[in-house]
Amino acid sequence: MPSQRDIKRRKLSVESTKQITRTMEMVATAKIRHATERIAAATPYSEAMVKTLSGVAAHSLSVEHPLLEEHEDKKAAIAIVVVSDRGLAGGFNSNVFRQVEKYRAKNDAAGIKTNVIVCGKKGASYFHYRRLEPLMVFRDMSADPTIQEAREISSYVRSSFLDHAVDEVVIFYNHARNAADQDLREEVILPVQADALKASEDESGEAEIAADTSFEPSSEEVLDRLLPAYVETVVYHALIDSAAAEQGARRKAMKSATDNATEMIETLDRLYNRVRQGAITTEITEIVGGAAALEE
Amino acid sequence: MLQCEIVTPERKLYSDEVNFVVIPASEGEMGIYAKHEPVVTTLKSGTVRVTEAEGQEPVRYIVAGGYAQIEANRVIVLADHAAALQELDETAIKVHIDDLKEKMADLKDDDPNRAFIEDEVKWNQVLLEQTR
């Protein structure tokens, strides 16, 4: 049986942990709002972009563009890994890493070399530990990703892809389904998946652009402008989506930590009371026993 | 009426019902009223002029890159960069350009940051040209 003092000390420690996790939970809740607002601000652009792009793709029936072209004989791939700078967010980062490892193993088996681009400190240390030097690393930006970050990444992968230095680019990130749940996503961004565009089109319904739309200067040149911007949009969207998901995951993790702490404090309280009562009972028995011994 | 939207990857800059819009299309400026034929055009750097109501002074937005999608009653300008003219300050832009150039001088030729900063310098130079 632990002593009263031990239990009391333990309870104090749990209480202060609870205070921290509760604060973190509230901070994350506040940040979720900011993150979702940012997604809302970026949505009009990406929606209009997907709409036009699929319209152009549907128009020029035999679309040919180096960014759409599937490379034969694949040799190298880039995985863009979007994770967080800080931990304490449950399985947020490890889920992504597991998926990336699967992808790398698959590529290794096919004789494809996989390089990584990392966004988030946790990713940098993860790959450093595994002696895989990333092509690019972005730190201290996971909570507030910028369009600059997305542009740097997309211009790098685009030029590598056009030079045939890389044959496939895939992005891994957490999608914020809602404030509490995240879905892991793995999307091929290069070559641009024209079929996927058409598919997303069907879901949104009225997106089809008018059949008699004309393109200036020409549909090829419009496409030439659109595709790079599309890649950039996909990357930017993944970054801000992941930022929202991170806060969501952290809030959820901290909420359950707080709940667990509350439960533990209750248990410790009960244990403490029982020990105290036990001590009192022992004392009384001793006194009664002592008095009885004197009488005899 | 014509619905006009100016958006960048980061935010929506403008969205309202308007009377008339002029955009800097790559083939030359285009003036758009409602019931325009549907067109998708690339843009060059320049100024979008939005006239909200007949006879009013147009509101100006500087844009660079991107494209515009025109439908019968809607114009969407998707620009790589965009800024409202009235919010700009010429001296601040000049200082910013100098900063960027300084930064660029420190970079190696193959630095991944280089392309981005060059792009940013170009955009700020566009801003400077258009504010004059």
Query: Taking CB atoms and an 8 Å limit, are A52 and B67 in contact across chains?
Result: yes
pLDDT tens across A4-44, in order?
Answer: 899 999 999 999 999 999 999 999 999 988 888 888 888 88
pLDDT tens across A109-119, in order?
Answer: 888 888 889 89
Residues 16-75 of B with CB under 8 A from A: 25-27, 37-42, 65-67, 69, 71-72
Contacts of B69 in chain A (CB under 8 A): 48, 51-52, 209
Among all residues of chain B, which has the CA nearest to that of A37? B11
For A105-129, letters b (16+ CB in 10 Å) and e give eebeeeebebbbbbbbbbbbebbee
Q: Which two tokens stand for residue B60?
A: 């100006």
- pLDDT reported for residue A199: 53
Measured between alpha carbons, how far apart are the two ends of chain B, in Å? 32
Which of B40, B80, B112 faces A222 most closely, judged by CB atoms? B40
Query: Taking CB atoms and an 8 Å limit, are A210 and B116 in contact across chains?
Result: no
Domains of chain A from N-terminus onward: 4-24+252-287 (1.10.287.80), 28-250 (3.40.1380.10)
Query: Taking CB atoms and an 8 Å limit, are A216 and B41 in contact across chains?
Result: yes
Query: Taking CB atoms and an 8 Å limit, are A214 and B38 in contact across chains?
Result: yes
pLDDT tens across B24-54, in order?
Answer: 888 888 888 888 888 888 888 888 888 888 8
Contacts of A44 in chain B (CB under 8 A): 5, 7, 12, 15
pLDDT band at A207 (very low <50, low <70, confident <90, very high): very low
Task: Report the top-level CATH class of B2-85.
Answer: mainly beta
ipTM confidence score:
0.77
Domain ranges of chain B: 2-85, 89-131
pLDDT band at A59 (very low <50, low <70, confident <90, very high): low
SS3 content of chain B, % helix, strand, coil (to 5): 30, 40, 30
Query: Taking CB atoms and an 8 Å limit, are B112 and A156 in contact across chains?
Result: yes
Closest CA to B68 of B77, B55, B58: B77
